[in-house]
Amino acid sequence: MPDLSNSLDVTLVSWDELPMEQLSPTLGRKLISGDRVMLAHVYLDKGSVVPKHQHDNEQITYILKGALRFWIGEDEGKVVDVMEGQVLHIPSNVWHKAQALEDTLDVDIFSPPRQDWLEKTDAYLRG
C-alpha cells in the first residue's frame, strides 16, 4: 500500500498495481490510506458475509458492481439492500453486518482510517 501520510507531494495510484489482501476464501480488499481518510476496494463473492461489528469510523459504502444486504443495529432489526450504483452511509458506532447477494465490488470510505485494517488486527473478517 502506498504511504500517503505526511507527504508534500501528491501520489497517483492505480488499483491494478495494489496488492490484493485475501482475508478469506470469499473476501479480499485493496487499501489506500491517508492521514484522515481511507479508501478501499472490497471484493466479495456471492454469499460472503461480513460479520456484525461496529467501529468509531464513519463509513460510506458505494457499490460499483453487485449488491450487498446490510443488517443495521445491534438487534439487526433494519435490513437495507444496496444495489449497484447506490451508496450507504453508516454513522460512527452503528452495528452492521453485510452479505453479498451476488459477486460484488464495493468502495468503502472511512474517516478516520481503520487502524485495525492497517494493523491487520481485524480478526472478525479473517477466516
C-alpha grid cell, residue 47: 454469499
Asked if residue 97 belongs to a domain, the reply is: yes
Asked if residue 14 belongs to a domain, the reply is: no
Asked if residue 125 belongs to a domain, the reply is: no
Asked if residue 19 belongs to a domain, the reply is: no
Domain CATH code at residue 93: 2.60.120.10
Asked if residue 68 belongs to a domain, the reply is: yes
pLDDT value of residue 7:
56
pTM of the model: 0.91
Domain enclosing residue 76, as ranges: 27-118
Q: What angle do CA 65, 40, 25 make, to 5 degrees?
A: 70
pLDDT tens across the length of the chain (127 residues) = 566 555 578 889 999 999 999 999 999 999 999 999 999 999 999 999 999 999 999 999 999 999 999 999 999 999 999 999 999 999 999 999 999 999 999 999 999 999 999 999 999 999 7
Whose cell is 463509513? That residue is 59
Asked if residue 58 belongs to a domain, the reply is: yes
Count of structural domains, the chain:
1
Q: Measure the CA–CA gap between 41 and 53, rounded to whole angstroms.
A: 19
Asked if residue 96 belongs to a domain, the reply is: yes
Asked if residue 6 belongs to a domain, the reply is: no
Cβ atoms of 111 and 57 closer than 8 Å: yes
